[in-house]
Amino acid sequence: MKVKPRKAGTARRRAVTISVYGLAWVLLTVLAPVWLVIGAIVGALRGRSFIVLRLLAFGWFYFGFELIALLLIAGVFVAHRPGAARDGALYRLQAWWASTNLRLAQRALRLEIQVDGAERALPGPAILLIRHASILDTLLPCAYIQRPYGFRIRYVLKQELLFDPCIDVVGNALPNYFVDRTGDRAAELEGVRRLAQNLGTDGILIFPEGTRFSEEKRERSLAQLASDGSPMAEAAKQLTHVLRPKPGGVLALLDVLPNVDCVFVAHSGLESFAKISSLLDGEVVGSSVRVKLWRISAEEIPRGDEDRLRWLYAQWGEVDAFVKNSLLVGG
């Protein structure tokens, strides 16, 4: 059973999560002589690129860096009243936090990341549609679009990410929306629509699949479409390396932003980060991550939900092809 934080009770939730992060860092620091030795021994015996040691070292940094970032966030709230100056400072902190975490993950796991077309996300406004394979792909837009280009992105994120204190505090201070994936559908879609208000030159990022890819999830999704008699069932079968796009959030954004371009963000190489068991295999060490962006002008996007849905599946087929071809090259 999955546990998710409630959107209500903000103070209580943050008191718990910040305390947990602080305790985790203290324990990892105090016990460092123990886990360093054990991690080295386990790595030598298992012969899997010392993955346990690498993950423990990254965990120690991650929890400590989270606490430092929270102090900096508190400083922003003290120094600035609500408004443009505070938002600007928080966006910069957000991009720095994501970029630093991603850079440390790269070093700890010897990841090679190649990005093609990051500049295509600009100019805003734009709707960014990104594949979801692991927690790390949440960091990619921040690190390669938001920070280098100063492009402000509003995120449609799953509610479970509220467990991360930095994402919780900054994510709720800036215009983002945390989706309750088991909540009332109409209410959640309205929350996504509200995110488009006063968009200006910002971007909105959404994960059309709604969850991370796995073969089991793909089979369940296909079975559900077949059971519902969906006209898109056959198109969904053609998607072998990604989940079929769920139309609700995407169509809601296209409905309220009919004159805004769409930018697709395809990536491969992060699949092994989806499960703890895959991480512990050690195969992630030295992985090559490929990212490609392409932009579709608003004029090329059909009007009407049925035509838009077929168009979305066609574009997601391009994402699927990119992933498949990248894996073939990498393999």
Domain harbouring 126, CATH code: 3.40.1130
Nearest to 262 by CA among 83, 129, 110: 129
How many domains is the chain built from?
1
For residue 209, tell me if it sits in a domain.
yes
pLDDT at 172 over 70: yes
CA angle 160, 161, 167 (to 5 degrees): 155
Q: Which single residue is written with the structure tokens 């692991």?
A: 134
Mean pLDDT of the chain: 91
pLDDT at 146 over 90: yes
Instruction: Give the model's pLDDT for residue 286.
Output: 84
Amino acid (one-letter) located at 215? E
For residue 31, tell me if it sits in a domain.
yes
For residue 2, tell me if it sits in a domain.
no
Instruction: Give the model's pLDDT for residue 2.
Output: 54
For residue 66, tell me if it sits in a domain.
yes
For residue 57, tell me if it sits in a domain.
yes
For residue 5, tell me if it sits in a domain.
no
CA angle 290, 146, 301 (to 5 degrees): 75
Domain that holds residue 189: 11-330
Mapping DSSP onto H, E and C, the string for 62-123 reads HHHHHHHHHHHHHHHHHHCCCCHHHHHHHHHHHHHHHHHHHHHHHHHHCCEEEEECHHHHCC
Percentage of the chain beyond pLDDT 90 is 74
pLDDT in tens, 196-229: 999 999 999 999 998 888 889 999 999 999 988 8
For residue 33, tell me if it sits in a domain.
yes
For residue 4, tell me if it sits in a domain.
no
